[in-house]
Structure 1
Amino acid sequence: MSIVKVARAAGVSYATVSRVINRHSNVAPATVRAVQAAIEKTGFVLSDRRPGPKPYSRRTDLIKRIGFLVRGPSATSTYSVSSVPPGFIALLQGVESACAQAKVELKVKFASDSDRTLEELASNPMDGVLLHGDFSGGGLEVWLRRLPCVWLMANPRRPKWGDQVLPDNEAIGETAASYLVNGGHQRLACLNLQGQMWGHQKKVASFVSASLASGAKVESLEETAQTLENGPELKAAIESLLSKCAALRPRPTGLFIVDDRQMGLLHSALARRNLLPAKSNGLISCNRESPYLEGLDPRPATIDIQFDTIGRMGVELLQWRMANAGVPTRIRSAVEPMLVAP
């Protein structure tokens, strides 16, 4: 039983559950009671492998301690579980499952404050760290570079240190192009609201290359929105992107939108401008985050990037790195995606 299920039962964020389990003092009494009731209801067991400090008598040098540091939208502790990116929940469940199987002690830390995170790391030493988000710069980076580290997912920028487990973004682009071309489409376009993201750049480049290799014509259209949260910046980026799409002549009949969240944001706007492909097999996105695709008509194909597998492999790679810290070669493992037809 994971803390995600406890959080759902209590109606709070998983960060709050973690704070209650670890007996933080800054949690309201009513919230503590709600989490405790959810723990009892779900059968969650506070084992020796759980996150947080343990009495010395229950510690053993045989149990490795690893941290999972999260920064970015997934780390916003005020989010309810229902509003956290579905892919992150699957990633976290993969990490938890692998740690339980390996009898590794896991501490999840939502690191919005670098100074506080650095203080907590200094007072609660870890044998290794999983990273999700951007942790470059400052004293926190200096500290993390001393530890065995494995990055999970592509992150906003390519990491400059540590190992990494991530989706195979080149294979994602190839899969999207193959799906559209095999569906009879020869005029393609790729739409991307966050062109500055390293992982998206890899997908787009691969999609364009594979499309051209198949003989199709292809256009790549992008904006550089800093957030996908609703607001003036996002609305302006959507309008600008769709204006570029509407100006294409001839119009593309097949569209690749780089992730499911962006598909959910763009689908209705495409429909309003009469830009949706006429054939039901003319849309594809990526990540297999089904909540973002609910109710879309036509429902697009998507690409499963295996969040849970990435989480499990990250723990396995970190264990190897902790046992082989002297090996200078950095390791980057890419997980093969799978097409999910509508």
Structure 2
Amino acid sequence: MSNTKVAQALGVSEATVSRVMNNQPGVSKSTAQRVREMAAKLGVGSRAHHSSLEGIRYNTVGLVVLSADAFQRFSQAYHQTIAGVEDALRSKGVEMIYARASEPSQLPPRISAGEVDGLILAGTHPDPATLRVIEKLPQVWVCSHREDDCDMALEGNHAVAQLAADYLLGRGHISLAAISPLASHPAMRARLEYFEYLVTRQNASVKIISCDVDETLLEQTDVEDDPLRRLAEVVDGQVEEMLACEPRPTGIMAANDMVSGMIYAALQKRGIRPGIDIEIIGSEHDGPALSGLYPRPATIDIAAFTMGRRSVEQLLWRIAHPNEPHAYQVVVKPWLVHGDDINESLS
């Protein structure tokens, strides 16, 4: 009967009122606003609305990538994170504005004007001027380590390193290496540093082989200047450096699964059997990157889709609690995904 009163007072259908009160799409913003105002006037409320969408005014959230991440273009995990954000917002009936903005002029007008309820942000090296434009909006960073005090939803990079170290050490490797072509990437750096700490604590040897390629490399679209081929050349050189180590590592942690595939190619070119002579574990559970590899290496699923959804939950909480002084980090626990088990001894 409550929805009936609201519908009769506004001259709209009960179905329209029901959609608005249950945060479902299909109703114009102006009508939804009128329904909510009348519902408040009549003392009619949606428990779901008040518990999870308190503070929502524009029914819109921005998802903004504030700087180019060298792995974004090719990373399945990145796209799964975005899909998680979209899915969570859709389930709440909240509109999403997606943008890439490396400077203030690239921000959508509604975001620049503050006409959104909050922001999901990503990017490893954001422009300070752009951050100043949006600093007053509720925001949650996803997949991006930040040194300042802010809400974040993160992959558990220390847990990724722990799983990789436990896996390789548990399989009898005592000489290990870690390879990354992007040393300054926050997630990759965190994984490698903690991996090194864990391995040395177990009295095993570890060689960290990392370098910093130009992060604009993977943003290039020139077919004749294939960025992945150029990155693979960097990894090939890192594998050459690793093979010259004494003792030669028999287990490798790759920065992610895309790098795992490049390590496979570099080893095979030298007559070394990946998965048999040298074992590799990657991360991010990137199906396309791993699909052509045999034996398929172990990897670590960072729960990217869940991380995207959790960033939305944290943002809605922040919107509803604007005066909460403490920042919160939501860390999604990763898990090990075993690869093919080849019944041959490591050489």
Which residue does the alignment assign to 1:169? 157
Change in CA separation of 1:161 and 1:69 when aligned onto 2, cut-off 3 Å: farther
Map of 1:126 onto structure 2: 116
The structure 2 residue matched to 1:257, chosen from 250, 254, 259, is 254
Cα distance per residue 1:183-225 (max 9 Å; x no partner): 1111111111111112111111211122122332111111111
Match of 2:187 among 194, 199, 218: 199
Structure 1 CA distance for aligned equivalents of residues 175 and 282 of structure 2: 17
Structure with greater Cα Rg: 2
* Partner Cα distance (1:139, 1:72) in 2: 12
Normalised by the length of structure 2, the TM-score is: 0.74
1:137 and 2:127 correspond = yes
- The whole-number CA distance in structure 2 between the counterparts of 1:281 and 1:265 is 14
> 2:265 aligned with 1:268, yes or no?
yes
The structural deviation recorded for 1:113 is 5.2
In 2, Cα distance between the equivalents of 1:286 and 1:206? 14
**Number of paired residues?**
286
Report if aligned partners of 1:118, 1:143 keep a CA contact under 8 Å in 2.
no
Who is 1:324 aligned against?
321
Q: Tell whether 2:221 aligns with 1:224.
A: no
Q: What percentage of residue pairs aligned between the two structures are identical?
A: 27
Residue 209 (structure 1) aligned with residue 197 (structure 2)? yes
What amino acid is aligned across from residue 280 of structure 2 in structure 1?
Answer: L
**Alpha carbons 2:67, 2:126 under 8 Å: kept:** no
CA distance in 1: counterparts of 2:280 and 2:124, whole angstroms: 31
SS at match of 2:107: helix
Over 3 Å counting, the alpha-carbon distance change for 1:87 and 1:97 in structure 2 is same
Q: Structure 1 length normalisation: TM-score? A: 0.75
Hey, what does 2:241 align to over in structure 1? 244
TM-aligned CA deviation for residue 69 of structure 1: 0.8
In 2, distance between residues paired with 1:85 and 1:330? 28
After alignment, is 310-319 or 220-229 more displaced?
A: 220-229
Judged with a 3 Å threshold, the aligned counterparts in structure 2 of structure 1 residues 57 and 84 are, in CA distance, closer, same or farther, namely: farther
SS in 1 for 2:120: strand
Deviations, residues 242-271 of structure 1 (Å, cap 9, x unaligned): 232122011101111010111123320122
Change (3 A) 1:303 1:245: same
Q: Cα distance 1:219–1:262, how it changes in 2: closer, same or farther (>3 A)?
A: same
User: Residues 299-325 of structure 1, C-alpha deviation per residue, up to 9 Å, x if partnerless?
Assistant: 210000000110111000001111111
**1-structure distance, mates of 2:162, 2:70:** 31
Matched, 1:87 2:77: yes
Distance 1:180 1:106, change over 3 A: same
Aligned to 2:30: 56
Moved more, 235-244 or 294-303: 235-244
Q: Secondary structure at 1:190's aligned position in 2?
A: strand
Q: Decide whether aligned partners of structure 1 residues 201 and 116 sit closer, same or farther in structure 2, where only a CA change above 3 A counts.
A: closer
Tell me how far apart the structure 1 counterparts of residues 182 and 125 of structure 2 sit (CA, whole Å). 19
CA–CA distance in structure 2, aligned partners of residues 135 and 58 of structure 1: 38
Could you tell me how far apart the structure 2 residues matched to 1:102 and 1:322 are?
A: 14
Q: What is the distance in 1 between the residues matched to 2:159 and 2:103?
A: 35
Alpha-carbon contact 2:68-2:124 (below 8 Å) kept: no
Using the TM superposition, give the Cα deviation of residue 102 of structure 1 relative to its aligned residue in structure 2, in angstroms. 2.5
In the alignment, the residues of structure 1 paired with residue 268 and residue 33 of structure 2 have an alpha-carbon distance, to the nearest angstrom, of 59
Deviation at 1:118, TM superposition (A): 5.6
- Structure 1 runs not aligned, ≥5 long: 1-45
Partner amino acid for 2:148? K
* Amino acid corresponding to residue 312 of structure 2 in structure 1: V
Q: 2:275, 2:297 within 8 Å by CA — same for their partners in 1?
A: no
1:68 pairs with 43, 63, 69, which one? 63
Would you say the 8 A contact 1:253–1:278 is kept in 2?
no
Bigger Cα displacement from structure 2, 61-70 vs 252-261? 61-70
Cα separation, partners in 2 of 1:213 and 1:304, compared to 1, 3 Å? same
Q: CA deviation at 1:119?
A: 3.4
Measured after TM superposition, the shift of residue 295 of structure 1 is 1.1
SS in 2 for 1:109: strand
Contact map agreement 1:75 1:110 (CA 8 A) in 2: no
